[in-house]
Amino acid sequence: MIAVGESAPDFALRDQDGEEVALSSFRGRKVLLVFYPFDFSPVCSDQLSLYQEVKPEIEAKGVTLVGVSVDSPYAHKAFQAKLGIDTTLLSDFEPKGEVARAYGSYLEGPGMANRTLVLIDEDGKVGWTYESPNPGEFPGANVIFDALA
């Protein structure tokens, strides 16, 4: 897991619309990277749906929420539509899990990201992290709000 205080590794990934999004484009704003295993799994669906519900409160604290998984942009687009969410979802598809690896979130055996939260400050430094004890448990909104308090 990446350490608090480290510079967040920059990256450029395709979003659900196929547009390239670089971490550096968020410079000057806080961003919360939400690494999650896969689109359409029941736990991931619950996690992203819950975060969508509290997204206005997160944004009110000056934080942009961004999801990252190893799924393709096409899967992300369908996942967004199914859940009715507007959170940006980035595809860490190829090379598979490269960004998750850089942040210490990648699980080699199953080939996916663990449920990991990484808060990056306005200067591109890691301000806070959380890693679920296992991929079957997602961090509730209270974990995020405690970190933002």
Q: What residues are labeled active site?
A: 44
Given CATH 3.40.30.10, say whether it is the number of domain 12-148. yes
Phi, psi of 146 (to 5 degrees): -65, -40
Provide the Cα torsion 7, 8, 11, 13; round to 10°.
Answer: -170
Q: What is the pLDDT of residue 102?
A: 98
Helix axes 42-60, 73-83, angle to 10 degrees: 80
Residue with tokens 């990252």: 68
Report pLDDT digits (tens) over 56-86: 999 999 999 999 999 999 999 999 999 999 9
End-to-end, the C-alpha distance of the chain in Å comes to: 22
Q: What is the pLDDT of residue 44?
A: 94
Q: Which residues of the chain have pLDDT under 50?
A: none
Q: Where are the domains of the chain?
A: 12-148
